[in-house]
């Protein structure tokens, strides 16, 4: 072989190999490196989730004071120890605020390309606060009891809490996305349920758009997460509306688009005779098994059982995704769901302690409430 | 190109690619280690061991660099053995270049090793009992680099 031929082969090989190596290396590094730090940190936090044994021990606290003391060395410690007056409302608030802290931490540590999703998750606090204040005001209840002192719109939320009239609230919310639904509510174009739903519809639409704008694994995981959130809300809305005897026409307006349940399934559920029939329409969907597991409770009218079962399904599914994609946003979302479930358990224990329920009974009940 | 250029490239690519891959691997695992330690200092020892695993590829690169250098006469003071641009010398240089490239490319296994080690750091932070298993998972990626080194030694010894 000629010398020039050999050198040509070597040079070409070099160029091809280098291009391929640079491309693949860049791709792998871009994909995984940003998740390395946050995911290891989250896994370390997972190690501090309360074990079943610890939950049972907390059930034996007997007083709310003891309950708070027993949680001092946990991730809830900083929030709980800062409570001045230990009562149920303050404890519940501290637990809720620890979840807000978690979302804020996620915003800080997650890669830039998914940070926005966690900022949007934080917005749910604003939606909840505004919805609760408006509902409280309309029912003549003290609105400050229904807000969480957190969220980007906290100053406005505080202002609307102190507002004397609904028109004043409208002025405060002027220029925000909440203005239009409130205007419609005040003009009696929509009901309070539709107002609340409008807020959540906007919120879920934003989440969905964001998830859809991502790429690869992130898109897969975020979309599945958002779709399950929407499904949970739709199923809950339909079953509750069916139990309350709402007409299909009115119910149709309360459905949020974008979930994983098909339009046909949702229509069939909306038009079903009662909540049992509506639930039957979920057979054949991914929620079929979930529904079968809680059929008896649902038939007896316990809708919370199905909501809990769907939440558990959501957590299981996110755990599967997090295992399949260990360096991805799935790990963070799974942890958030785990912490939410833990907070639900802790709130239930605190409530049962305050209600004077015996520890043995609390232990029995605590598994059923989360 | 002159034979010496291929030999020099072989040395540089062997140590360079493997070294760069090692730094990426250690970087990925190191970020995870930092995250784990930020939450709990007790994770330091396990995280450090897992973080250090992707470093070995750069050692293989360095070994290859020395072997190629000594075979070609660059190291040792004997002068370059294949200085004349003959076909024979070019082939010998190309073999040494191939040996370097082989170690460099298999040294890229340091990047996935860093990714595995990173996931391992997370898993061990959650459950320290899984340290050995995660160490083995991460060490598996090392096999390719070892194969590369063995292949390079065979190539070098053929001269």
Residue carrying structure tokens 């809680």: A294
A18 pLDDT band, cuts 50/70/90, is confident
**pLDDT tens profile A321-332:** 998 888 899 999
d(CA A84, CA A99): 20
> Is position B151 within any domain?
yes
**Tokens, residue A344:** 């639900």
Give the closest of A29, A44, A327 to B111, CB-based.
Answer: A29
Q: Which of B102, B107, B79 is nearest to B156 (CA)?
A: B102
Question: What is the predicted pLDDT for the residue at A254?
Answer: 87
Eight-class DSSP state of A61: -
Contact indicator for B105, B21 with CB cutoff of 8 Å: no
Mention every residue, 6+ apart, whose C-beta is less than 8 A from residue B92.
B3, B81, B82, B159
**Torsion, CA B66, CA B69, CA B74, CA B80, rounded to 10:** 160
> Is position B42 within any domain?
yes
| Domain count across chain B | 1
Share of chain A above pLDDT 90, in %: 56
> Is position B138 within any domain?
yes
**Contact call for B36 and A40, based on CB within 8 A:** yes
Q: What is the mean pLDDT of residues A171-196?
A: 91
Question: What is the predicted pLDDT for the residue at A292?
Answer: 85
Mention every residue, 6+ apart, whose C-beta is less than 8 A from residue B93.
B3, B4, B5, B6, B7, B10, B72, B82
Question: What is the predicted pLDDT for the residue at A24?
Answer: 84
> Is position B120 within any domain?
yes
Count of other CB atoms within 10 angstroms of residue A142: 9
A71, containing H or E segment: none
Greatest pairwise CA separation for chain A in angstroms: 95
Domain boundaries, chain A: 51-86+328-369, 87-213, 220-306
d(CA A316, CA A320): 6
Residue from A8, A16, A36, A328 to probe the interface with B (highest B Cβ count within 10 Å): A36
Structural domain for B29, as ranges: 3-80+90-158
In whole angstroms, what separates CA A86 from the centre of its chain? 27
CATH number for the region A87-213 comes to 1.20.1690.10
> Is position B85 within any domain?
no
**Tokens, residue A352:** 């049962």
> Is position B104 within any domain?
yes
Question: What is the predicted pLDDT for the residue at A370?
Answer: 52
Give the closest of B97, B105, B122 to A40, CB-based.
Answer: B122
Beta strands in chain B (DSSP E): none
Contact indicator for A219, A236 with CB cutoff of 8 Å: no
Question: What is the predicted pLDDT for the residue at A214?
Answer: 94
Give the closest of B29, B35, B97 to A44, CB-based.
Answer: B35
CATH code for the domain of B112 = 1.20.120.610
Residue from A44, A51, A105 to probe the interface with B (highest B Cβ count within 10 Å): A44
**pLDDT tens profile A227-271:** 999 999 999 999 888 888 888 888 888 899 889 999 999 999 999
**pLDDT tens profile A186-235:** 998 988 888 998 999 999 999 999 999 999 899 999 999 999 999 999 99
Question: What is the predicted pLDDT for the residue at A369?
Answer: 56
Eight-class DSSP state of A142: -
| pTM for the structure as a whole | 0.87
Q: What is the mean pLDDT of residues A144-148?
A: 87
């Amino acid at each position: 072989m000629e010398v020039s031929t050999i050198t040509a082969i070597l040079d070409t090989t070099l160029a091809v190999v280098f291009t391929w190596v640079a491309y693949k290396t860049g791709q792998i590094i871009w994909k995984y490196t940003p998740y390395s730090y946050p995911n290891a940190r989250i896994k370390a936090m997972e190690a501090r989730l309360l074990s079943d044994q610890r939950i049972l021990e907390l059930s034996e606290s007997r007083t709310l004071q003891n309950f708070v003391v027993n949680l001092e060395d946990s991730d809830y410690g900083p929030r709980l120890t800062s409570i001045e007056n230990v009562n149920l409302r303050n404890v519940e608030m501290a637990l809720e605020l620890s979840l807000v802290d978690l979302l804020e931490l996620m915003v800080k540590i997650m890669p830039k390309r998914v940070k926005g999703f966690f900022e949007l998750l934080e917005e749910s606090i604003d939606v909840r606060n505004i919805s609760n204040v408006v509902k409280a005001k309309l029912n003549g209840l003290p609105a400050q009891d229904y807000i969480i002192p957190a969220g980007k719109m906290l100053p406005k939320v505080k202002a609307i809490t102190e507002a004397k009239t609904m028109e004043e609230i409208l002025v405060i919310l002027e220029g925000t996305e909440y203005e239009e639904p409130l205007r419609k509510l005040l003009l009696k174009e929509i009901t309070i349920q539709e107002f609340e739903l409008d807020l959540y519809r906007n919120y879920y639409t934003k989440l969905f758009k964001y998830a859809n704008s991502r790429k690869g694994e992130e898109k897969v995981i975020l979309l599945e997460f958002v779709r399950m959130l929407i499904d949970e809300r739709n199923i809950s809305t339909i079953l509750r509306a069916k139990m309350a005897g709402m007409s299909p026409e009115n119910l149709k307006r309360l459905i949020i688009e974008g979930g994983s349940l098909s339009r046909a399934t949702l229509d069939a559920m909306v038009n079903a005779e009662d909540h049992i029939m509506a639930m039957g329409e979920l057979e054949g969907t991914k929620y079929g098994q979930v529904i079968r597991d809680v059929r008896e409770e649902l038939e007896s009218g316990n809708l919370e059982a199905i909501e809990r079962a769907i939440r558990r399904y959501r957590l299981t599914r996110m755990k599967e995704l997090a295992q399949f994609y260990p360096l991805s946003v799935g790990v963070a979302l799974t942890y958030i769901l785990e912490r939410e479930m833990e907070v639900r358990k802790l709130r239930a224990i605190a409530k049962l302690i305050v209600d004077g329920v015996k520890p043995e009974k609390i232990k029995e009940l605590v598994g059923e409430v989360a | 190109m002159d034979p010496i250029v291929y030999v020099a490239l072989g040395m540089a690519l062997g140590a360079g690619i493997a070294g760069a891959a090692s730094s990426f691997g250690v970087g990925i695992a190191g970020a995870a280690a930092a995250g784990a330690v930020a939450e709990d200092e007790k994770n330091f020892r396990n995280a450090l061991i897992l973080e250090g695993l992707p470093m070995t590829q750069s050692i293989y690169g360095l070994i290859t660099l020395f072997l190629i250098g000594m075979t070609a006469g660059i190291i040792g003071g004997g002068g370059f053995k294949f200085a004349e641009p003959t076909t024979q010398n070019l082939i010998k240089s190309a073999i040494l270049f191939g040996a370097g490239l082989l170690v460099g490319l298999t040294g890229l296994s340091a990047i996935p090793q860093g990714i595995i080690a990173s996931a391992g750091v997370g898993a061990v932070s959650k459950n320290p009992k899984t340290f050995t298993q995660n160490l083995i998972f991460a060490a598996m990626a090392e096999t390719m680099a070892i194969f590369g080194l063995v292949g390079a030694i065979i190539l070098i010894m053929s001269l």
